[in-house]
Amino acid sequence: MKKISVIVSVYNEEKVLNDFYIETKNVLEQCCWDFEIIFVNDGSHDNSLALLNEIVNKDNKVKVISFSKNFGHEAAMIAGIDYSSGDGVVCMDADLQHPPELIPKIIEKFNEGYEVISMVRTKNQDAGLLKNITSTMFYKILNMMSPVKFENNASDFFAIASNAANVLKKEYRERMRFLRGYVQIIGFNKIVIEYEANDRRAGESKYSIKKLVNFSINALLSFSDLPLKLGIFSGLIVAIIGFILMIYTIYTKLVYNAPSGYATIIVVLCFMFSLMFIIIGIIGEYIAIIFAEIKNRPIYIIKETKNLKSIDESEE
């Protein structure tokens, strides 16, 4: 019998964990595949870990990975994939916005031979108008800047076959990650499933505006070097503007005997310095990414696991 691994990132989700576990297990028990549920406790400081320990003690289908501190949602997904043993892997959140009832449809697509399944939101009940607009803009800008085209509104809810999971276990180990983007560029036989995100059952989003901005910047810079070329394009534009101003200045001097304009000089200087600092800032962001990769610090640190073999034992 084939096996499906469900990876669940957990960060302060004590209000919804039991509901997620019960609903997801009920769905999985109706499937034709064996299953495991791997909860990754991403440094929760509420009662989430205690609840997970209760669940794992009564259900050998449940595995728990607990980080030494909060490393972020992407690191939790990577850890779950690293320890997964299924023929297919499904990554989803614990807040029940990602509907567990879609897992049988995902398994059906695996049976049809698909190896990468991107789950694309058509509607997000929990997101406001501003979040929906910014999400749409993010993908439009990303697709405009990147040579790789991404599915609009693709989410952290996705599924990959074991061969695709093995690629992520060995490659794409950057410290600045965009996991849902990696899934779309590794190739393999791919399909998209559309879904409507449910209301958040409890708690609140763990992504603040600051985190979303940082995440978006890292994603854009990870998949495109176009911002680095901004200096070349800007230089050409400024050269054209400067040439036009030079012609205009000569014209006004010869025809109207106009004195040199103080305001024009100030405007040009302000424009040039603003442009220069923007370009320096962009270069600084790329250097920050390079610096993070050079340090080669671990993506995550595991404090303890429950009902799981080590990675080395799993590979034997």
Q: Are 20 and 123 in the same domain? A: yes
> Contact 272/239 with Cβ under 8 angstroms?
no
The pTM for the full model equals: 0.71
Task: Convert the pLDDT of each residue in 157-212 to its tens digit.
Answer: 888 888 888 888 888 777 766 777 777 777 788 888 888 877 766 656 555 556 66
Instruction: Tell me the pLDDT of the chain averaged across its residues.
Output: 77
**Cα 58–Cα 64–Cα 65 angle in degrees, nearest 5:** 165
Give the model's pLDDT for residue 67. Answer: 92
Task: Convert the pLDDT of each residue in 70-94 to its tens digit.
Answer: 888 888 889 999 999 889 999 988 8
In a domain, 221, yes or no: no
Give the model's pLDDT for residue 294. Answer: 75
Q: Are 96 and 11 in the same domain? A: yes
* 285 token code pair: 């962001």
- Residue 219: phi, psi to the nearest 5? -65, -45
Task: Convert the pLDDT of each residue in 211-249 to its tens digit.
Answer: 666 666 666 666 666 666 666 676 677 767 767 776 776
Alpha-carbon distance of 88 to 268, in angstroms, equals 58
Domain containing 241 equals 226-295
What is the average per-residue pLDDT within 108-124?
84
Q: Are 65 and 133 in the same domain? A: yes
Would the pLDDT of 311 be above 90? no
Task: Convert the pLDDT of each residue in 131-149 to its tens digit.
Answer: 666 666 766 666 666 666 6
What is the average per-residue pLDDT within 258-284?
68
Q: Are 144 and 239 in the same domain? A: no
Give the model's pLDDT for residue 25. Answer: 92
Q: pLDDT above 70 covers what percent of the chain?
A: 63
Q: What's the number of domains the chain is made of? A: 2
Calculate helix-pair angle for 73-83, 162-170, nearest 10 degrees.
120
Q: Are 240 and 265 in the same domain? A: yes
In a domain, 89, yes or no: yes
Task: Tally Cβ neighbours within 10 Å of residue 120.
Answer: 15
CATH of the domain at 132: 3.90.550.10
Give the model's pLDDT for residue 89. Answer: 92
Those residues whose C-beta lies under 8 Å from the C-beta of residue 174, and which sit 6 or more positions away, are 222, 293
